[in-house]
Structure 1
Amino acid sequence: MRKYCAWLGLLTVGAAVLLAGCWDRRELNDLAIAVGMGLDRQGGQTQVTVQIVNPGEVASKKDGGGYSPPVTTLKVAESTTIEALRKLTVVAPRKVYMSHLRILVIGEGLARQGILKVMDGISRNHELRSDFYIVVAKGTTAGQVMKILTPIDKIPANKMFSTLEMSDKLWAATVSMQLDKFISDLSNPTKDTVLTGIVITGNGKSGQSKKNMSRISPYVNLAYSGVALFKEDKLVDWLNEEEAKGYNYIMGNVNNSAGHIACPGGGTAALDITRSESKVKGKVARGQPSIHIDLFVEQNIGEVRCEVDLMKEANIQALEEIAEEKLTQMMKAAIRKAKKNKADIFGFGEKIEDADPKSWRKLKKDWDDYFSRLDVSIQVNAKFRRMGTTSNSLLDREE
């Protein structure tokens, strides 16, 4: 009898565990999967635009799919983000499910007014994971970006996610910022942050049609351009491509990239950067803070459009010095733009605090002013590792 009761007890507990695991289940047919979201300011309200997947169109193997586009966009405006997401039920027959979000686009207008309040609602949403990227719609609204249908990848949000990830790895003029890091920067009183900008190229209205996906050369496309510089929670300026690369070199974010330098005798040589390592150190002397940056870069010769003998060590050394100077100027340009806006996007204040906590307690209340006139020294060591599959330029063979 005792054995029977024990088995009965185990079965009861097991059934309770299994049933408890299903209490909050959600049927797929009851959900609208959101992969992209845009935030804009509309009057005194927040406008939320969501990009929802049409599963039947995405899975279709027929050329061109059916009559519907692969995604649908829905938008509403409310006083708060969570209200807007719930209000979507007046236009969506299913509950909008946010756990598969790939990209969050913030309109430039909203970014310039301040995004702290809307990001509070995003960070508290228990459905959202933190592995999506955040970008700024440059010169347009997030709602317009959400409407563009893109070639290659049927789902525009996936295209934006993958493009940013690839550009970040291979070009180094963008910044792939995810939610946790962005919230950490916004809540840090001494460090400011950046976000990559996204632009609409071509005629925006043509990008809302399926015809845009079926052309060899699309009417409209989405491209990343510039990096938004934030002071506290407001967008105040843009870093151009060279400044953005300078920022990434300082932050140690560059694994691969490419660029070019001028050859000593005229012409250019293209460089393939394969590795970089940055060390930033702070110092306080006689009450004045300073920063020293050490950058080490490994690179290969990618293309030669000048007459230079790469078999001579002196020529290689000359090219390395030119590369070092160009990298130095790129980093200085990024620092100048940040100083102009008194926005410490590099976290130099944190380096000063690490080096001299006692002095930092005196400096931090006026850090904006100290940062704007901060002495920053840069030392670059650029080394060539490979010359490519040919030793000298093909221009020499023409002779």
Structure 2
Amino acid sequence: MRRILLCCVAVLVCLTAAGCCNRTELDELGITAATGFDRDGDDWEMTYQVIVPSASGASQGGGSAGGGSQPSVYVFTTKGKTIREAADLGYTENPRRLYFGHTEILVIGKGAAETGIEQILDVYFRNIDARETVLVAVTDGKASEILRKMVPPEKIPGTALAELLRKQDNNSSYFPVVNVFEIAQKLVSDAQTVGVPEIIVTDGDGKALESLDVNKTTSPPVKMKVERLGVLHLNRLVGYLNRDESYGIAWLTNQVKGSTISFSCSGADANSKNGTLRITSAKTKVTPVRAEEQHYNMRVETEASGNLLMEFMCQEDLSKPDSIRAIEKAAAEEIMKKIQMGWGASQKLRVDLPGFADKIHRKDPKAWKKLKNNWSEELSRIELDIHVKVKLERHGLIKKSFDTLLNQNSGQE
């Protein structure tokens, strides 16, 4: 009986002793919205954009209990021989433990991207607080400069930058977004290449907002925008694609979600774009086709559908099937041009941005063994056999352009 009582007492002591001895209170955490990576010689420069809870709460209508005019984030930069050392040195000037579970975006500066990002990826896959779904962007300057700029009217710039990438991806598809996991996955694939959106700052002079008129309408002195697609091969930045070239790669890699295609009217100048088709769905299939010896070409089959609910200043009568087919053909030709531009830019950089290597490897492993050692040279030989089919689903409320209707009424008078 005594033994039973002693056992019960021991269990009760253990239960009362067990507690959250390693707990961390919320007011001890510094929640980061964005992280920047730069290189200064052999050192890493880490920049953190940390949310100020009191200020962000007040800015969302929480009364005056918060920060008034206090900034919603604060930004600081540390330097170290390794990323971990730079992060630890942050505690010399930051009273809170950095928490990366809510980080929205990583910005990699030009110096770090050109030196190599393998250490960045290693840190993110080892850190239990970090998420591999964080979006990634590059910049032609320093990441610290990007994170120190505000993005009106949003209160948290890091979140605004991530939303900027997502919105343009969903509505225009010019620069497909990519996260940490996808970058690692593509860099270790046979193609070993990935595209990352580039963020730049335009019209920046560092001044405060200036009033434009008597009603105190303001315009931000600096603007954030997605400018190009940075191309990472192996682990380094090797070049950029402009908007049209990046858009072509998006079509070629089946990453077009919502987008807009401008086309020329029948018989009009090719540079004159008078019609706009809003793409609502798109699908691209790429199939390796065996040519002579071990050489491969690519058959590209693209299907897209859209609505003619934007501008249309052509003379065609949309009640006639021939006019519908002419519009579909014109839009298909524009898509073909963009695909060719994207592939041409990838060939010029001697990188496999569309991921053709992985497709050949899956279809013909024996052929890939012979091709992979000289893959950069083989890329210059690959030709695309492009087939695009566009379907016009809706053409709006009127059958003819308003310009045509005006001309008809003028002729009757």
**Common fold: TM-score over 0.5:** yes
Which structure has the bigger radius of gyration? 2
Sequence identity, in percent? 27
Which residue does 1:264 correspond to in 2? 266
List per-residue Cα deviations over 1:166-189 (Å, max 9, x = no partner): 111111012211111111122224
Instruction: Please give the alpha-carbon distance, in whole angstroms, between the structure 2 residues aligned to 1:13 and 1:182.
Output: 50
List per-residue Cα deviations over 1:126-178 (Å, max 9, x = no partner): 210122100011x3210000001121220001101111111111110122111
Report the secondary structure of 1:111's partner residue: helix
Amino acid at match of 1:270: T
2:373 aligned with 1:371, yes or no? no
Q: CA deviation at 1:229?
A: 1.3
Which residue does 1:172 correspond to in 2? 173
Which residue does 1:350 correspond to in 2? 358
Amino acid at match of 1:300: N
Instruction: Please give the alpha-carbon distance, in whole angstroms, between the structure 2 residues aligned to 1:104 and 1:280.
Output: 31
Segments of structure 2 that go 5 or more residues without pairing to the other structure are: 408-413
Q: Is the 8 A contact 1:54 1:71 kept in 2?
A: yes
List per-residue Cα deviations over 1:243-293 (Å, max 9, x = no partner): 111111111111211121010143510110000011111133321122111
Q: Is the 8 A contact 1:52 1:73 kept in 2?
A: yes
Q: CA deviation at 1:13?
A: 11
2:125 aligned with 1:127, yes or no? no
2:279 aligned with 1:281, yes or no? no
Instruction: Please give the alpha-carbon distance, in whole angstroms, between the structure 2 residues aligned to 1:391 and 1:169.
Output: 29
Report the secondary structure of 2:282's partner residue: strand
Identify which range, 187-196 or 171-180, moves more after superposition: 187-196
- Name the CA shift for 1:258/1:14 in 2 (closer, same or farther; >3 Å): farther
List per-residue Cα deviations over 1:36-58 (Å, max 9, x = no partner): 10011111111000001111111
Amino acid at match of 1:44: D
Q: Is the 8 A contact 2:299 2:386 kept in 1?
A: yes
Instruction: Please give the alpha-carbon distance, in whole angstroms, between the structure 1 residues aligned to 2:11 and 2:392.
Output: 69
CA RMSD of aligned residues (A): 2.6
Instruction: Please give the alpha-carbon distance, in whole angstroms, between the structure 2 residues aligned to 1:391 and 1:190.
Output: 47
Instruction: Please give the alpha-carbon distance, in whole angstroms, between the structure 1 residues aligned to 2:162 and 2:77.
Output: 21
Instruction: Please give the alpha-carbon distance, in whole angstroms, between the structure 1 residues aligned to 2:262 and 2:290.
Output: 36
TM-score by length of 2: 0.88
Q: CA deviation at 1:211?
A: 7.7
TM-score by length of 1: 0.91
Which residue does 2:317 correspond to in 1? 309
2:104 aligned with 1:106, yes or no? no
Q: CA deviation at 1:312?
A: 1.5
Q: CA deviation at 1:191?
A: 2.9
Identify which range, 63-72 or 176-185, moves more after superposition: 63-72
Which residue does 2:98 correspond to in 1? 96
Residue of structure 1 aligned with 2:400, choices 386, 392, 395: 392
Q: CA deviation at 1:395?
A: 1.1
Report the secondary structure of 1:93's partner residue: coil
Which residue does 1:159 correspond to in 2? 160
Q: CA deviation at 1:201?
A: 1.7
Which residue does 1:145 correspond to in 2? 146
Q: How do 1:1-399 residues align onto structure 2 when only pairs under 5 Å count?
A: 15=15, 19=18, 22-60=20-58, 61=61, 66-137=68-139, 139-206=140-207, 216-266=218-268, 268-285=274-291, 286-301=293-308, 302-399=310-407
- Name the CA shift for 1:10/1:114 in 2 (closer, same or farther; >3 Å): same
Q: CA deviation at 1:306?
A: 2.4
Q: CA deviation at 1:197?
A: 0.7
The number of residue pairs the alignment matches comes to 392
Q: Is the 8 A contact 2:200 2:227 kept in 1?
A: yes
Report the secondary structure of 2:74's partner residue: strand
- Name the CA shift for 1:210/1:125 in 2 (closer, same or farther; >3 Å): farther
